[in-house]
Amino acid sequence: MSRPFAEGDQVLLVDAKKRRYLVTLTAGGEFHTHAGVVAHDDVLGRPEGLTVRSSRGASMVALRPTLAEFVLKMPRGAQVIYPKDLGPILMLADIFPGARVLESGVGSGALSMTLVRAGAIVRGYEIREDFARRATRNVATFLGEEALERYVVEQRDVYEGIDETDLDRVLLDLPEPWRAVKHAARAMHPGGVLVAYTPQITQVVQLREELEAQGFGMLETIEVLNRGWHIEGQSVRPDHRMVAHTGFLTSARLLS
Ligand code: SAH
């Protein structure tokens, strides 16, 4: 359904060099770049995909940000999980509408907004109050205030325990995820899925030992490599640069 841009909307402005800027629209507002000033009023009331001109004549395309674009541009404190991993996490964790999910830590909320948008009911445990607040703000900015009916973050240490019971899924992005595994095993029902994101392979080894000790099975660990291609006229080849490493994804099922 086509919706013209309105006040309060997020807009992604993309310049000729494909640089992206995320802006919240306000009547009378101005967006300043090295390439001049874009008046918000030139975007307000108009459909997505339009081209606007800055005061210095540079053209920019205006689109609503996708979830992946928002994640890369939103205010961040902690390191976020990147879109290349967020998509596979939805499949590995088998996220479905109405799934009861415990997520810890929530950081800037990139994974949170991915889960909530896929329909999950998410309880977050985050040790830092400022991150808990920022993640909640980011989720509401991208998904709307009504998303907070399915997203609540508590400021607490997941290593000390999980109060929820009968959870469908547990998602961990923590320095020492193995310290939450025992609690996860008590908080989930058999058949539930646990997925952990860890940058280091040594973390994976320690995590998997604990998963097996606590009655999880069907352990899998993968990494996701994403190689872009440069396609321009006769020049058709893989990009010279790629992100070589982000993190490992480990999934497991709770057995009875
Ligand atoms: N997945 C998040 C990023 C999480 S970064 C995203 O996509 O945006 C890791 C987070 O775990 C940090 O915010 C950190 O404060 C939090 N954390 C670390 N130890 C914790 C603990 N014991 N309990 C709860 N949160 C913790």
- DSSP-derived secondary structure letter, 65: P
Query: Ligand 1 pocket: which residues have CB below 6 Å?
Result: 78-81, 104-111, 125-128, 131, 157-159, 173-175
Domain of residue 152, CATH code: 3.40.50.150
Q: What is the pLDDT of residue 231?
A: 96
Residue 89 sits in the same domain as residue 147 = yes
**Residue 21 lies in domain:** 10-65
Judge if 120 and 219 occupy the same domain: yes
Whether residue 73 sits in one domain with residue 58: no
Nearest of 215, 155, 149, 218 to residue 187 by alpha carbon: 215
pLDDT given at position 117:
98
Per-residue model confidence as pLDDT tens for the chain (256 residues): 889 999 999 999 999 999 999 999 999 999 998 889 999 999 999 999 999 999 999 999 999 999 999 999 998 888 999 999 999 999 999 999 999 999 999 999 999 999 999 999 999 999 999 999 999 999 999 999 999 999 999 999 999 999 999 999 999 999 999 999 999 999 999 999 999 999 999 999 999 999 999 999 999 999 999 999 999 999 999 999 999 999 999 999 999 9
**Helices 129-143 and 110-117, packing angle to 10 deg:** 40
Q: Are residues 80 and 34 in the same domain?
A: no
What are residue 194's DSSP bridge partners? 170, 252
Note whether 159 and 172 are same-domain residues: yes
Question: Which residue out of 76, 131, 176 has the highest number of ligand 1 atoms within 8 Å of its CB and is therefore the one to mutate?
Answer: 131
CB atoms within 10 A of CB 153: 25
Kindly state whether residue 30 falls inside one of the protein's structural domains: yes
157 Cα nearest atom in ligand 1:
23
pTM: 0.96
Q: Whose CA is nearest to atom 11 of ligand 1?
A: 105
Rounded to whole angstroms, the Cα distance separating 23 from 230 reads 28
The set of residues, in sequence order, having a beta carbon less than 8 Å from that of 200 and lying 6+ positions away, is 248
Structural domain includes residue 215: yes
21: domain CATH number?
3.10.330.20
pLDDT value of position 35: 86
Measure 7 CA to ligand 1 centroid, in angstroms: 33
The partner residues of 219 in beta bridges, in order of sequence, read none
Cβ atoms of 49 and 55 closer than 8 Å: no
Q: How far apart (Å, rounded) are the C-alpha atoms in residues 144 and 71?
A: 15
At 75 the pLDDT is: 86
111 CA distance to ligand 1 middle (Å)? 11
Contacts of 145 (CB under 8 A, 6+ apart): none
| Domain termination residue (choose one: 28, 45, 65) | 65
Query: Are both 15 and 128 inside the same structural domain?
Result: no
Q: Which of 38, 65, 92 is the last residue of a domain?
A: 65
